[in-house]
């Protein structure tokens, strides 16, 4: 049996313990952590909610940038250990975890952080100064304490959520995911190496508790805002437990699709390039992310494209291997393959369950999706036919070209989609992207004003 021990961090203090035991991979992997009591939550509550009000944004950004520099090094001890543990608990291959961690230095760079504030709040000075707006002196102050309930499907989600909270000078409590308790705990442990007494260190807590525990109830009582990431159950549960005066930002369950135009058949080189980009989008996080494509709608010779995707998936499996697959997941994939063949669909697959491409005729056949790098392909005469299948459950739509994107972008956005991009970029959210259709930083500050006259 493989065994690891993870601490918790409370107000920057590292706390050891073995009271909680989480099991993974049919009991082959064990993670031990301390238990969180109501007393611990009350300790967090002793921190003034707006203690970071006077801390210059530049100091916060400089601190985060130094943390990012540590994580830039693949041989950094905390990163190395976190890669091993996160791979075991998430099931992702270590190469996938490394791919995710490689983004950390970028999202903690001074340029990215400063531009994020400027885009979200229109002017970073609002966080540090009184700015005249019309006949009012305006400032953005923190709303107070934030509870981040994060998902484990994308390792850096916890860090992205924390960034939103700390850039707006809030006190942050991150309840790590059972699927990935390692990433954020190791990330926060690295704060100790920069400055144990820095305001960011002393206002950050990384914890785990079981559902409906006394600690959870206490935490919901003391916070001013909640950021919840995950499936329907997680979002619904947080909404029920929140109070009317609390800000709640939901990052809930969504799906994504690809729209492939007939222009991809201009020549074999272009077809292969398109197939490689589709394979990349499909393989990221083994299709567990909201931005992962579940269906590709294809103009024209869909079977030809399916064969090209199948070949590209073989290459991608070598470059970005699929991770651990449970017996239940393998069973679900095998069952879907069998059902697809039974109804006359064409199935492209390797000898294993590492990936599956299913060419089907009916959209209804895609409803029971097994994920696990499975792509349904539906042939259409015109991409406009796809509009009837686009609604607010779709997060990202990726096109085969910007030309086709521009033809349909307005009709797609009117149906509730958050983002449109091109294939190969579904998992890369560019600077300025309004996640979940919001400017999230502006939701995490209280805008206050002083009359000029």
Listed by start position, the domains of the chain span: 2-253, 255-422
pTM: predicted TM-score of the whole model, two decimal places: 0.95
| 128 half-sphere exposure, CB direction, 13 A CA radius | 14
Question: Is 90 exceeded by the pLDDT of residue 429?
Answer: no
Determine how many CB atoms are found less than 10 A away from the CB of residue 263. Answer: 14
415/366 Cα distance (integer angstroms): 20
159/70 Cα distance (integer angstroms): 15
Question: Is 90 exceeded by the pLDDT of residue 1?
Answer: no
Q: What percent of the chain has pLDDT over 90?
A: 94
Q: Which long-range contacts (CB under 8 A, 24 or more apart) does 435-438 make?
A: 435/251, 436/249, 436/250, 436/251, 438/249
Task: Write down the pLDDT at residue 119.
Answer: 96
Q: Mean of the pLDDT values across residues 61-85?
A: 98
Q: Are strands 204-207 and 136-142 parallel, antiparallel or unpaired?
A: unpaired
The answer to whether residues 228 and 250 touch, using CB atoms and an 8 Å cutoff, is: yes
Instruction: Report how far apart, in Å, the C-alpha atoms of 204 and of each of 173, 182, 190, 207 are.
Output: 6, 16, 12, 10
Please identify which residue in the block is written with the tokens 């509870």.
147
The answer to whether residues 348 and 357 touch, using CB atoms and an 8 Å cutoff, is: yes
The string of pLDDT tens digits covering residues 268-297 is 999 999 999 999 999 999 999 999 999 999
Helices (H), 108-213: 110-121, 157-167, 182-189, 191-194, 199-202
* SS3 assignment, position 346: strand
**C-alpha closest to that of 258 among 283, 278, 280, 284:** 278
Q: Mean of the pLDDT values across residues 111-140?
A: 97
Residues paired with residue 30 on neighbouring β-strands, in sequence order: 3, 23
Task: Write down the pLDDT at residue 99.
Answer: 96
- Local confidence band at 252 (pLDDT 50, 70, 90 cut-offs): confident
The arrangement of secondary structure in 255-422, i.e. its CATH architecture, is: 3-Layer(aba) Sandwich (3.40)
- Taking the mean position of all CA atoms in its chain, how far away is CA 327? 25
Decide whether 2-253 matches 255-422 in CATH topology: no
Q: Are strands 445-451 and 136-142 parallel, antiparallel or unpaired?
A: antiparallel
Task: Write down the pLDDT at residue 453.
Answer: 80
- Local confidence band at 430 (pLDDT 50, 70, 90 cut-offs): confident
Task: Write down the pLDDT at residue 400.
Answer: 98
Task: Write down the pLDDT at residue 195.
Answer: 98
The 3-state secondary structure of 225-246, one letter per residue:
EEEEECCHHHHHHHHHHCCCCC
Angle at 365 between CA 363 and CA 370, to 5 degrees: 120
Q: Mean of the pLDDT values across residues 93-105?
A: 97
- Taking the mean position of all CA atoms in its chain, how far away is CA 334? 28
- CATH 3.40.605.10 for the 2-253 domain, yes or no: yes
Q: Mean of the pLDDT values across residues 319-336?
A: 96
The string of pLDDT tens digits covering residues 160-184 is 999 999 999 999 999 999 999 999 9
The string of pLDDT tens digits covering residues 179-205 is 999 999 999 999 999 999 999 999 999
Mean of pLDDT over the chain: 96
Please identify which residue in the block is written with the tokens 């085969």.
400
């Amino acid at each position: 049996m493989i065994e690891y021990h993870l601490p918790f961090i409370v107000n920057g203090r590292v706390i050891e313990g073995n009271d909680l035991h989480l099991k993974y991979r049919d009991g082959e992997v064990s993670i031990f952590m301390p238990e969180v009591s109501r007393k611990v939550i009350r300790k967090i509550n002793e921190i003034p909610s707006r203690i970071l009000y006077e801390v210059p944004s530049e100091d916060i950004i400089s601190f985060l940038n130094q943390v990012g520099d540590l994580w830039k090094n693949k041989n950094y001890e905390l990163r190395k250990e976190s890669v091993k543990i996160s791979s075991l608990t998430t099931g992702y291959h270590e190469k996938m975890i490394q791919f995710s961690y490689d983004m950390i230095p970028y999202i903690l760079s001074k340029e990215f952080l400063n531009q994020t504030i400027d885009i979200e709040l229109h002017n970073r000075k609002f966080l540090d100064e009184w700015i005249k707006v019309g006949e009012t002196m305006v400032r953005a102050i923190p709303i107070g304490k934030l509870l981040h309930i994060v998902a484990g499907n994308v390792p850096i989600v916890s860090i992205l959520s924390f960034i939103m909270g700390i850039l707006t000078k809030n006190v942050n409590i991150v309840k790590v995911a059972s699927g990935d308790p390692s990433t954020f705990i190791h990330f926060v442990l690295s704060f100790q190496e920069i400055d144990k007494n820095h305001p960011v260190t002393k206002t950050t807590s990384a914890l785990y508790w079981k559902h409906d525990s006394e600690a959870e109830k206490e935490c919901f009582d003391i916070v001013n805002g909640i950021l919840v990431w995950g499936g329907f159950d997680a979002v619904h549960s947080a909404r029920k437990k929140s109070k009317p005066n609390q800000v709640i930002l939901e990052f809930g369950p969504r799906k994504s699709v690809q729209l492939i135009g007939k222009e991809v058949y201009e020549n074999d080189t272009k077809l292969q390039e398109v197939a490689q980009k589709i394979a990349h989008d499909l393989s990221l996080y083994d299709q567990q992310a909201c931005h992962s494509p579940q269906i590709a709608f294809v103009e024209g010779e869909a079977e030809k494209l399916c064969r090209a995707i199948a070949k590209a998936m073989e290459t991608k499996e070598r470059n970005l291997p699929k991770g651990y697959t449970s017996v239940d997941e393998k069973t679900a994939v095998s069952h879907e393959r069998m059902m697809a063949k039974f109804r006359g669909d064409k199935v492209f697959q390797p000898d294993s369950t590492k990936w599956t491409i299913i060419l089907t005729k009916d959209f209804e056949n895609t409803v029971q999706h097994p994920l696990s790098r499975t792509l349904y392909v539906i042939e259409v005469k015109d991409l406009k036919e796809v509009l009837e299948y686009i609604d607010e459950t779709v997060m990202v739509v990726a096109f085969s070209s910007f030309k086709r994107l521009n033809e349909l972008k307005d009709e797609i956005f009117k149906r509730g989609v958050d983002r449109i991009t091109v294939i190969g970029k579904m998992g890369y959210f560019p600077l300025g992207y309004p996640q979940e259709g919001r400017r999230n930083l502006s939701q995490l500050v209280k805008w206050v004003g002083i009359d000029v006259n």
